[in-house]
Amino acid sequence: MTRKFTASLAIAFLATLILFDQATAKLNPYQAPPAFAFGSGLASAGGFCGALPQ
């Protein structure tokens, strides 16, 4: 068995994750923020590993 098998499993994992995500949450490009946070004037609101709960 080679890495082709395990690398394929990794990609299958990603595909499953995205399919599961799309089954449980919907995308709406019309509510998307501006392309760049820099210069947008909006406060940064993404999740980050250094942040305490907000």
Partner 1 sequence: MSDAAAPIREARAFEGFARRGGLVLALLTAIALVALFAGARFGMMLAVGLGFGIALEGLRFGFAGPWRAMILRREPAGILAQLLSIGIVSSVAIPLLAAHPGELTGAQAPVGWAMIGGAFVFGAAMQVVLGCGSGSLVNAGSGNPVGLLALPFFAIGSFAGAYHLIWWTDLGSLPIATLSGWQGLFVTWAALLLTGALLLRLGRPDARRIPRRLVIAAILLAALAIANLLIAGQPWGVVYGLGLWAAKGFTALGGDLSGSAFWSAPGTGRILQGSILTDYTSLTNIGLIAGAFVTAAWRNGGLSQKLPSYPIGAWLAVIIAGFLLGYSSRLAFGCNVGAFFSGISTGSLHGWVWFVAAFAGAFLGVRLRPMLGLEARQ
Question: Does 12 interact with partner 1 (rule: CB under 8 A)?
Answer: no
The rounded distance, in Å, linking the Cα atoms of 25 and 7 is 27
Residue 2 CB, nearest distance to partner 1 (Å)?
5
* Residue showing tokens 């990603």: 14
Residue 25 CB, nearest distance to partner 1 (Å)?
4
Question: Does 16 interact with partner 1 (rule: CB under 8 A)?
Answer: no
In sequence order, the 6+-apart residues with CB closer than 8 A to the CB of 34 are 40, 42
Residues that bind partner 1 (CB under 8 A): 1-7, 9-11, 13-14, 17-18, 20-22, 24-27, 29, 31-54
